Amino acid sequence: MQYDEVVATAFQPSPQGLEPTPTLHASPARRLRDALEPIAMHSVWSRGVNERLAGLGHNFRTGYVCSRAALMGAPDPGVVGATFAVFEPNMIGGIYEAGRSICDRDTLLAARTESVDTSLGAVPP
């Protein structure tokens, strides 16, 4: 699955009357999460990051899974599957194994870090 396909599927407008409302009177922890989430997820949803990973041979799924898993070192597929709590573990393990055959962890992390830095650096102050 490619980046544009995922974006077209995941970012559909909410049905009329079901638009999310802001969280009012949020706790400090929730406010911190809301402030950091756009930065934390930049490596997943940024077009530039996805294009850079595609240049290495990754599709959206392998780039996403391997990028997250790389932060744990070089875990076994079963460990990766267990840590992606909302996804079916064997599916995640299979995506991880496929992604590891595309490029090594250091290459993936370097490409991701450089492309995130470039993308965030382009955001106006």
- Residue 63 located in a structural domain: yes
Number of domains into which the chain is organized: 1
- Residue 25 located in a structural domain: no
Boundaries of domain holding 110: 57-116
- Residue 64 located in a structural domain: yes
Model pLDDT for residues 63-76, shown as the tens digit of each residue: 999 999 999 999 99
Question: Which pLDDT does position 17 carry in this prediction?
Answer: 87
pTM: 0.84
Model pLDDT for residues 90-119, shown as the tens digit of each residue: 999 999 999 999 999 999 999 999 999 999
The contacts of residue 92 (CB under 8 Å, 6+ apart) are 65, 77, 80, 81, 84
- Residue 72 located in a structural domain: yes
Model pLDDT for residues 27-79, shown as the tens digit of each residue: 999 999 999 998 889 999 999 999 999 999 999 999 999 999 999 999 999 99
- The Cα 80–Cα 62 span in angstroms is 12
